[in-house]
């Protein structure tokens, strides 16, 4: 089990991580949501041993601090940047990283073959990475994190810049790995990825852990009401009490019981052309917790992320 | 520690493989020094002739048939030696003093009268040898005696010449007033018997054969020549460091150590930049997350740089040797190569910490390289640098690297002379490696 206890990290006057605690069990995928400058990469750096916490403690599966090289055997990291040697072939990259973890001989060959198969790159095994497409590199980047078969996997924005086919491939692989019992931290900007892959989600902003819970419970707690919109054919009769303001031919309102509300309006004789019901999701949870949209925050803070990784490494 | 010994070569192999596949980097490390060495060696060909053959002058003061025959024998038997003939004694001895020829053989007047005649006193030869070329002295004496042996064989076969010599000798003995009558009678009788021997010898008998072994020996019974050694003091132009320029045997002696430096600088810069590139690409993060210590990562990079530098120097030496470069002190090459590689590996570790971008590190490294090369003899040969540049050059590792290579190739350094550049290179390498690797380890361990 991964255990992060009251971890703090600052760069000068900038507090990158403030008192974050979390735990992760085998077979669980934990989503890490937050704009890049939120401290997400710093948190991953602290878990991976790339950074030393100012305060607090990180314990990797099997015990031991990530500062201890032996303990880091239990850890696999797929960084956001494609951390591969473009001058080496796919096989040479995987073999090199496997050797760093002490794999030799038949064991090394087996793991390299297995990871090439996982990445769907068996036919390109002897081609240099420089000749690969972005999607192929992204798959190999994940395979390189898995070559030593670690129980804990840190995936930092694994689907950035990939085509839908590769994205689907990566989702399948993450689900397979979860089913094999690996503990995975999945950092992403995309709500749909977190919703699909993660049972629990941690929302981080400005270095603080704003919420950490099951997705359903988060939505229940922070998602608010469903938003209902109907488009009317004509002006509503004054005798009917509308649940929201009528403006430009539409009526919008928020409710916990959207179906019941619609049923009541229909029984009162109101007629409308279109109905939209928007249920609360992680996006609304994030919006409610941070006061801003995750996608907007992520796009505007790319440079902040770069600065954070730079400072970290 | 055991893990480190496994992992450092793994990391170094990866870096060397990447270098091998990076054509641009490979050109700077391998191509540039070769082009530089060949180009400057070719254009400075007039500095020395480029001919590494042994040069020997022969002064024929006798100008007899037999002195000419000896010269012909020597030229035919040793065609690879550059024989200088037609000079007078003064010119030949001056050439030895200046180091333009290894030796001068003087055939004095009267040489032909006695050369190759076994019953006469051996002729005198005079030999002047460059005192700095002691190794060649024995060789020159050997070929001279072999030539004299062959000359004796030819003279034995020349019946008329032998009979004329006998008659001259008999007349000289009979007219001598210094010898007693019995002695004169006995010697004349002996010589008459030789005369009779030559008369009875069939025309096609071929005369007496002198084997090569006999020709090379100087037994008490027969001496081919008495060699008088002429003592000379070597006079030679020296460069700014006091080494005789006559030591330079080919233009490659100068151009290749100089060119090698550019390969070494290319190696150090390439590996320094590669570390920054790994940081930018993110592959360094993988190394940091792997169960290895920062010291192992630094060690892998250092080993790769060290191996590449050694390979570049070795390649340049092999190429230079193929072109005719002949190191005077080959035993100094190995320590020189190792110290140089160690020094520039340390410098690489320091340079890698300068900046965080490839451009910053590459720019800073090549800027420093140019300054180091300018004052260290990487652009203009050390031998021709003005004294003020020589003084500034003392702080440039390039100077010491070139000096140690030149010391082995043409400066003819003794071990004590080589000790200074070796110590400087090792010291600079150690300080730079400790400093650079400490900063790198701090950077890699996230403490800085």
pLDDT tens sequence across B67-120: 898 899 999 988 888 899 989 999 998 888 877 788 999 999 988 887 777 666
Q: Which residue in the set B283, B356, B447 is minimally distant from A85, CB to CB?
A: B283
Share above pLDDT 70 across residues of chain A, in percent, rounded to a whole number = 93
pLDDT at B357 over 90: no
Cβ proximity of A185 and A66 under 8 Å: no
What is the domain partition of chain A in residue ranges? 2-220+289-312, 225-279
Question: Which range scores top for mean pLDDT: B41-55, B133-147, B162-176, B363-377?
Answer: B363-377
Chain B residues touching A99 at Cβ < 8 A:
6-7, 10
Q: Rounded mean pLDDT of chain B?
A: 82
Instruction: Tell me what ipTM this predicted complex has.
Output: 0.81
Q: How far A219 CA lies from chain B's nearest CA (Å)?
A: 35
Query: What three-state secondary structure class fits A56?
Result: strand
pLDDT of B52 reads 56
| E strand segments, B299-345 | none
pLDDT of B265 reads 92
Q: Which residue in the set B22, B286, B292 is minimally distant from A77, CB to CB?
A: B286
pLDDT at B214 over 50: no
In angstroms, the Cα distances linking B172 to A81, B95, B180, B295 are 106, 40, 13, 92
pLDDT of B237 reads 63
Using the 8-state DSSP alphabet, how is residue A104 labeled? -
Taking residues B335-343, what's their average pLDDT? Answer: 96
Phi, psi (deg, nearest 5) at residue B50 = 85, -5
Taking residues B345-367, what's their average pLDDT? Answer: 87
Q: How far A45 CA lies from chain B's nearest CA (Å)?
A: 9
Taking residues B288-312, what's their average pLDDT? Answer: 92
pLDDT of B396 reads 93
Taking the C-alpha atoms of residue A46 and residue A58, their distance in angstroms, rounded to an integer, is: 8
Q: Is A101 on the interface with B (CB under 8 A)?
A: yes
pLDDT in tens, A39-80: 888 999 999 998 999 999 999 998 889 988 889 999 999 998
Confidence of residue A187 (pLDDT cuts 50, 70, 90): very high
Taking the C-alpha atoms of residue A80 and residue B76, their distance in angstroms, rounded to an integer, is: 78
Nearest CA to A142 among A123, A162, A124? A162
Q: How far B280 CA lies from chain A's nearest CA (Å)?
A: 9
Taking residues A214-223, what's their average pLDDT? Answer: 86
| Higher per-residue confidence, B354 vs B302 | B302
Confidence of residue A4 (pLDDT cuts 50, 70, 90): very high
- Six-digit token string for B378: 């990487």
Question: Which range scores top for mean pLDDT: A112-116, A205-209, A233-237, B141-145?
Answer: A112-116
Q: Rounded mean pLDDT of chain A?
A: 87
pLDDT at B431 over 80: yes
User: Are A45 and B446 inside 8 Å of each other by CB?
Assistant: yes
Taking residues A237-261, what's their average pLDDT? Answer: 88
Phi, psi (deg, nearest 5) at residue B447 = -95, 0
Taking residues B303-320, what's their average pLDDT? Answer: 94
CATH 3.40.1710 fits B55-230, yes or no: yes
Query: Thinking of the domain A2-220+289-312, which architecture would CATH place it in?
Result: 3-Layer(aba) Sandwich (3.40)
Chain A residues touching B440 at Cβ < 8 A:
none
Report chain B residues touching chain A, CB-CB < 8 A.
3, 6-7, 10, 14, 17-18, 21-22, 279, 281-293, 356, 445-447
By C-alpha distance, the chain B residue nearest A86 is B18
pLDDT in tens, B273-285: 998 888 888 899 9
Look at the block and give the residue holding tokens 């500034």. B392
Q: How far A123 CA lies from chain B's nearest CA (Å)?
A: 21
Which residues in chain B are classed under CATH 3.40.1710? 55-230
pLDDT of B219 reads 42
Q: Does an H or E element contain A254, and which?
A: strand A250-255
Taking the C-alpha atoms of residue A63 and residue A44, their distance in angstroms, rounded to an integer, is: 17
């Amino acid at each position: 089990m991964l255990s992060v206890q009251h971890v703090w990290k600052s760069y000068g006057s900038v507090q990158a991580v403030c008192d974050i605690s979390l735990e992760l069990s085998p077979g669980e995928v934990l989503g890490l949501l937050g704009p890049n400058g939120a401290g997400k990469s710093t948190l991953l750096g602290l878990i991976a041993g790339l950074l030393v916490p100012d305060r607090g403690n990180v314990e990797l599966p099997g015990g031991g601090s990530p500062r201890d090289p032996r303990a880091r055997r239990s850890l696999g990291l797929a960084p956001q940047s494609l951390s591969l040697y473009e001058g080496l072939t796919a096989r040479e990259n995987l073999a090199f990283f496997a050797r760093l973890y002490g794999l030799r001989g038949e064991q090394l060959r087996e793991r390299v073959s297995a990871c090439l198969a996982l990445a769907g790159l068996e036919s390109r095994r002897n081609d240099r990475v420089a000749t690969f497409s972005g999607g192929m590199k992204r798959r190999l980047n994940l395979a390189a994190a898995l070559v030593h078969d670690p129980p804990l996997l840190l995936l930092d924005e694994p689907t950035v810049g990939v085509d839908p086919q590769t994205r689907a491939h990566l989702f399948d692989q993450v689900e397979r790995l979860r089913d094999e019992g690996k503990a995975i931290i999945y950092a992403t900007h995309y709500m749909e990825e977190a919703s699909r892959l993660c049972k629990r989600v941690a929302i981080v902003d400005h270095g603080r852990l704003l919420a950490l819970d099951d997705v359903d419970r988060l939505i229940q707690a922070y998602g608010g009401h469903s938003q209902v919109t109907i488009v009317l054919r004509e002006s509503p009769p004054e005798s009917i009490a509308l649940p929201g303001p009528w403006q430009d031919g539409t009526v919008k309102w928020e409710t916990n019981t959207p179906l019941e509300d619609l049923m009541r309006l229909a029984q009162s004789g109101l007629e409308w052309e279109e109905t939209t019901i928007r249920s609360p999701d992680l996006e609304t949870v994030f919006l409610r917790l941070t006061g801003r949209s995750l996608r907007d925050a992520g796009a505007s803070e790319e440079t902040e992320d770069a600065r954070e990784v730079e400072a970290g490494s | 520690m055991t893990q480190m010994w496994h992992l450092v070569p793994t990391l170094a192999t990866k870096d060397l493989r990447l270098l091998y596949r990076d054509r641009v980097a490979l050109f700077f490390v391998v191509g540039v020094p070769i082009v530089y060495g060949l180009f400057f060696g070719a254009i400075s060909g007039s500095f020395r002739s480029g001919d590494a053959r042994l040069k020997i002058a022969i002064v024929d003061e006798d100008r007899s048939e037999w002195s000419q025959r000896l010269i012909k024998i020597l030229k035919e038997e040793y065609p690879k030696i550059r024989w200088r003939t037609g000079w007078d004694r003064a010119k030949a001895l001056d050439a030895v003093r200046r180091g333009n020829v290894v030796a001068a053989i003087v055939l004095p007047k009267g040489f032909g009268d006695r050369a190759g005649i076994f019953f006469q006193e051996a002729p005198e030869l005079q030999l002047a040898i460059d005192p700095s070329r002691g190794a060649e002295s024995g060789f020159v004496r050997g070929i001279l005696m072999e030539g004299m042996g062959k000359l004796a064989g030819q003279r034995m076969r020349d019946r008329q010449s032998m009979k004329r010599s006998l008659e001259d000798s008999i007349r000289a003995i009979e007219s001598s007033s210094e010898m007693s009558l019995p002695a004169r009678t006995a010697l004349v009788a002996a010589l008459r018997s030789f005369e009779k021997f030559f008369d009875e010898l069939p025309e096609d008998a071929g005369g007496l054969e002198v084997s090569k072994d006999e020709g090379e020996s100087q037994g008490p019974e027969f001496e081919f020549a008495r060699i008088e050694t002429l003592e000379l003091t070597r006079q030679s132009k020296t460069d700014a460091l006091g080494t005789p320029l006559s030591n330079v045997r080919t233009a490659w002696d100068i151009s290749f150590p100089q060119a090698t430096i550019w390969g070494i600088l290319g190696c150090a810069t390439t590996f320094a930049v590669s570390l920054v590139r790994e940081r930018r690409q993110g592959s360094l993060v993988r190394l940091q997350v792997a169960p290895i210590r920062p010291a192992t990562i630094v060690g892998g990079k250092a080993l790769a740089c060290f191996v590449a530098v050694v390979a570049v120097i070795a390649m340049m030496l092999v190429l230079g040797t193929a072109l005719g470069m002949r190191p005077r002190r080959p035993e100094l090459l190995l320590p020189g190569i190792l110290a140089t590689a160690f020094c520039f590996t340390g410098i690489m570790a320091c340079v890698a910490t300068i900046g965080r971008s490839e451009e910053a590190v590459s720019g800073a490294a090549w800027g420093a390289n140019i300054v180091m090369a300018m004052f260290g003899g990487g652009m203009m040969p050390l031998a021709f640098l003005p004294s003020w540049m020589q003084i500034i050059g003392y702080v440039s590792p390039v100077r010491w690297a070139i000096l140690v290579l030149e010391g082995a190739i043409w400066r003819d350094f003794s071990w004590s002379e080589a000790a200074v550049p070796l110590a400087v290179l090792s010291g600079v390498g150690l300080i730079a490696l400790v400093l650079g690797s400490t900063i790198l380890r701090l950077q890699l361990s996230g403490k800085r």
